[in-house]
Amino acid sequence: MATTATPRGSMSRQDITTHFQAEVLRQWEVDRRDWRSRQLATALLAEGLPIEQASTEVATATTDGTRLLVNPHWSAGLDDITRRFMQAHLVWHCAAGHFRHQPAPDTDPRRWHLACDHEVNAVLLMLGMPLPPQAVLFPACVGRPLSEVYAWLADNPLLDDERSLDVPPWLVVSSRASLTDAWQPRIHELMKRHLGSPHLPAPMASWLLGCW
Residue type for 195, please? Answer: L
5 falls within a domain = no
Question: CA-CA distance, 168 to 113, in Å (whole number)?
Answer: 6
Supply the range of the domain harboring residue 190. 23-211
158 falls within a domain = yes
Nearest residue to 60 (alpha-carbon basis) of 80, 86, 81? 86
59 falls within a domain = yes
Q: What is the pLDDT of residue 177?
A: 66
Q: Identify the helix (H) or strand (E) that includes residue 17.
A: helix 13-38
Q: What is the pLDDT of residue 105?
A: 80
64 falls within a domain = yes
13 falls within a domain = no
Give per-residue pLDDT as tens, 44-88.
Answer: 999 989 999 998 889 999 999 999 999 999 999 999 999 999 999
7 falls within a domain = no
1 falls within a domain = no
134 falls within a domain = yes
- The per-residue pLDDT string of the chain (212 residues; one tens digit each, 9 = 90 and over) reads 444 444 545 677 777 777 888 899 999 999 999 999 999 999 999 998 999 999 888 999 999 999 999 999 999 999 999 999 999 999 999 999 988 766 778 899 999 999 999 999 999 999 999 999 999 999 999 999 999 999 999 999 889 999 999 999 888 876 666 788 889 999 999 999 999 999 999 999 999 999 88
CB count, 10 Å around CB of 17? 13
CB count, 10 Å around CB of 72? 18
Q: What are phi and psi of 158, to 5 degrees?
A: -105, 15
Q: How many domains does the chain have?
A: 1
